[in-house]
Structure 1
Amino acid sequence: MSQYILEARGLIKQFGGHLAVGGVDLRIERGHIHALIGPNGAGKTTVFNLLTKFLQPTAGTITYRGNDITRARAAEVARMGIVRSFQISAIFPHLTVLDNLRLALQRKLGTALHFWRNERSLDVLNERAEELIAAVGLTDYTHAVAADLSYGRRRALEIATTLSLEPELLLLDEPMAGLGREDIGTVSNLIATVGERYTVLMVEHNLSVVAALSNRITVMARGKVLAEGAYAEVSKDPEVRAAYMGAAHD
């Protein structure tokens, strides 16, 4: 078995005459937290969407666990174990934390669209739901309405619903977006804990978080990879420094 769970080779994405991603090679090692960073407009989100099949590449290949998924659909790769979060919270704000998890877990029972069933039919999901709630530190908020949670706890709930799909590879899109300092610490600790069990790829702008969490970092600019390696190594790269310094003028 390869040490790399996901590999992209020569990944290209064009939108009309605009080259958004120009030949990106990316390898995600099993058991690592890998960060994809770069200034605005670098192509990070496009790569993220290509890897999770929300976009199809113009050229290049993507393999997951050694299988070619280049032309697979988003739902197919999710079933294979590639699960992503989004910058915009994907929880149900008017449901409780427990009900959010029970709804997410219904997929495994094949009852996700059986809205007419008695609520008691979902009680079989309670034990696993409570395990996931505890895993993200929300036990005290099990019966709280999601809309009443802080931003950090909402993000924790979203990660819990993502974990309900039992992914092998978890992709986090800007997990710190919109969070205050205290919530950033909470979610950072959660991602570190999640990274002990799952492989994680995250797009993140907060470089302090990236430095603290990541085993490996890929830096992009203008649709291409500028540098890759450990944070201490990459942060000293002259091209990386120039890209970030120039970002304020883009």
Structure 2
Amino acid sequence: MSAAAAAPAEADAVLTARGLTKAFGGFHAVDDLDLTIRQGTIHALIGPNGAGKSTVFGLLTKFHTPTSGRITLAGEDITGLKPADVVRRRMVRSFQISAIFPHMSVLENVRVSLQRHHGLDRQFWRPLSSLARLDGEARALLAQVGLEDAADDMAANLSYGRKRALEIATTLALDPRVLLLDEPMAGMASADVQMIARLIAKVGQGRTVLMVEHNLNVVEDLCDRVTVLARGRLLAEGDFATIRADRDVRAAYIGAEDG
């Protein structure tokens, strides 16, 4: 492990993993990983394809069961919890594949998330009109992500970048203390990348964000701390300048990007 991998102070940690391992048969997708995410930071998880980044996200949010290791959120051991229990503790993730409802309006998409946050998602006997009381909060969230002008549009008609902004609005509706973004810039044109980067910087104020991202320019501009994975193991950790200067990182990842 590189000298850049020194961990931040545990006192600042909101999310930690210790000895986190996920084996699929004889293959270790994540191998004895220690990870510390500090409160109020934007933290990037980077590495070449197959490094285990998305598997780590699945382990942290309980979509995968770890083979071994321990995960804590705000000091609570969440290793054995189910995904819905993690969301109730206000750790929310996005996915690489769009998770919006395309045939609902932009406003209705956010309102669905608000129903869960307000405990209304199982109260099927209530008339649809009763959900109108959520509209003000939904419109405020759309304003945060720059979609107030599209509230009544069908979600399917949004541009790709604005669909990503809508996904972020639906996650914010769950009032996350920790927000996990899985490749939020994937497949975007340059203008959309800049828009979503500005949005992440905005919504990250006062929150903790952990993001998997391949665009190193975005990582450099946005992130307080960077963790580099290679073959499921921690290769290095630090600020971007430290990571960029690390010889092992350049050999495994950034050097390959530079050609």
Match of 2:241 in 1: 232
Match of 1:176 in 2: 185
Q: Does residue 87 in structure 1 map to residue 96 in structure 2?
A: yes
Contact 2:250 2:256 in 1 (8 A): no
Measured against aligned partners, the alpha-carbon deviations of 1:67-111 in whole angstroms (never above 9, x if no partner) come to 111111111111001100000111111111111111111113333
Cα distance between partner residues in 1 of 2:139 and 2:213: 29
Match of 1:104 in 2: 113
Match of 1:214 in 2: 223
Equivalent position SS for 1:34: strand
Q: Indicate which of 67, 74, 91 corresponds to 2:83.
A: 74
Cα distance between partner residues in 1 of 2:69 and 2:121: 35
Match of 2:156 in 1: 147
Deviation at 1:127, TM superposition (A): 0.8
Instruction: Give the root-mean-square deviation of aligned CA atoms.
Output: 1.5
Cα distance between partner residues in 2 of 1:28 and 1:144: 37
Give aligned pairs, total.
Answer: 248
Cα distance between partner residues in 2 of 1:54 and 1:60: 15
Match of 2:4 in 1: none
Match of 2:17 in 1: 8
What pairs up with 1:32-43 in 2 under 5 angstroms?
A: 32-43=41-52
Q: Does residue 135 in structure 1 map to residue 144 in structure 2?
A: yes
Match of 1:31 in 2: 40
Contact 2:15 2:37 in 1 (8 A): yes
Equivalent position SS for 2:92: strand
Q: Does residue 194 in structure 1 map to residue 199 in structure 2?
A: no
Q: Which amino acid in 2 is paired with 1:62?
A: I
The TM-score normalised by the length of structure 1 is 0.95
Q: Which amino acid in 1 is paired with 2:84?
A: A
Deviation at 1:115, TM superposition (A): 5.1
Deviation at 1:245, TM superposition (A): 6.0
Equivalent position SS for 1:235: helix
Equivalent position SS for 1:2: helix
Structure 2's unaligned 5+ residue stretches are: 1-9
Cα distance between partner residues in 2 of 1:58 and 1:43: 14
Cα distance between partner residues in 2 of 1:49 and 1:143: 33
Deviation at 1:118, TM superposition (A): 2.9
Equivalent position SS for 1:35: strand
Contact 1:31 1:200 in 2 (8 A): yes
Cα distance between partner residues in 1 of 2:255 and 2:162: 34
Contact 1:173 1:202 in 2 (8 A): yes
Q: Does residue 56 in structure 1 map to residue 70 in structure 2?
A: no
